[in-house]
Amino acid sequence: MAVNAPVLPGYRHVCSGKVRDLYAPAPDDGTLLLVASDRVSAYDHLLQPAIPDKGAILTAMSLWWFDQLSDLVPNHVISADVPDAVAGRAVLVERLDMLPVECVARGYLSGSGLADYRRDGAICGVPLPPGLDDGAALPEPIFTPATKAAEGEHDENIDFAHVSGLLGVPLAERLRELTLSIYARAERIARERGIIVADTKLEFGRRADGTVVLADEVLTPDSSRFWPAESWQPGQAQVSFDKQVIRDWLTSPESGWDRASDAPPPRLPDNVVTYAREQYLLAYQRLTGTAFE
């Protein structure tokens, strides 16, 4: 994946993912600079063009959520005082030993969880009642972890036993507890603001003393499914405050793209880019109660 990460005086570029660029100060002081770009990805492809202001929206939303969750779990944020070139879309963070598991909480049936349920009647080894529709609320939120795939590969849903084998039972149980506690808090806060958090993906790391720390982004439209509560209806595709509009366009006849082929996705049309930006903004404004600046 070709990414043109900006050059930042005083920092060394470490790596870039689909959306974020990571830098280390020079000289190294044990911190990292995490920069959220406006890049957008779907189905393991980097798409063109970028979504204007997306990186700043994701950063502001993550900082807001870190504050809402600070009594549940420590987070990696040190400061939002960053170089002017990336102001508003970057944070200075702790350097952690990142854990090789995507920690997913689901309260509703959608996405890969829906596909697993239709095939197995379960998600990540957690059995569910028969007859649930697309978008249905689950009897209770469940922990459905996934592997962290290498670049260009797909994350794969795994069961709790797999996580225990990777990390040991005590740490696996801690991640499950934290993930479900965070989801419960977020679901309550969001519902009070008219948003259903259908599912969310979290990442954790450890400090040298073993403390588990919430890291990366948290509860953004890139890492979560946000649905407007007033239009939620099981058995149909849900209106979404996230990048589902981009996924939907890519898999529509209009795009002409065959996801199963080796061909790269087509360029996103202007109306899809504009609508996606509006949905990201709506999510931020509904959740925080403030206008995005």
How much is the pLDDT for 242? 82
Strand (E) or helix (H) holding 46: strand 45-47
How much is the pLDDT for 153? 58
How much is the pLDDT for 149? 65
Strand (E) or helix (H) holding 141: strand 137-143
Task: Round to whole Å and give the CA distance between 185 and 293.
Answer: 26
Q: Would you say 145 and 103 are in contact if contact means Cβ atoms under 8 Å apart? A: yes
141 φ/ψ angles, rounded to the nearest 5 degrees: -60, 145
| Residues of the chain predicted below pLDDT 70 | 1-2, 149-154
Q: Would you say 227 and 195 are in contact if contact means Cβ atoms under 8 Å apart? A: yes
Amino acid letter, residue 225: R
Buried/exposed code over 76-103 (b: 16+ C-beta within 10 A; e: otherwise): bbeeeebbeebeebbbbbbebeebebbb
Q: Would you say 86 and 35 are in contact if contact means Cβ atoms under 8 Å apart? A: yes
DSSP labels, 81-132? ---GGGTTSEEEEE--EE-SEEEEEEEE--HHHHHHHHHHSEETTEE--TTP
Q: CATH for 11-94?
A: 3.30.200.20
How much is the pLDDT for 150? 60
Q: Would you say 35 and 20 are in contact if contact means Cβ atoms under 8 Å apart? A: yes
Maximum Cα–Cα distance across the chain: 58
How much is the pLDDT for 244? 86
> Where along the chain do its domains lie?
11-94, 97-255
How much is the pLDDT for 131? 96
User: What homologous superfamily does CATH list for 97-255?
Assistant: ATP-grasp fold, B domain (3.30.470.20)
Task: Round to whole Å and give the CA distance between 284 and 36.
Answer: 16
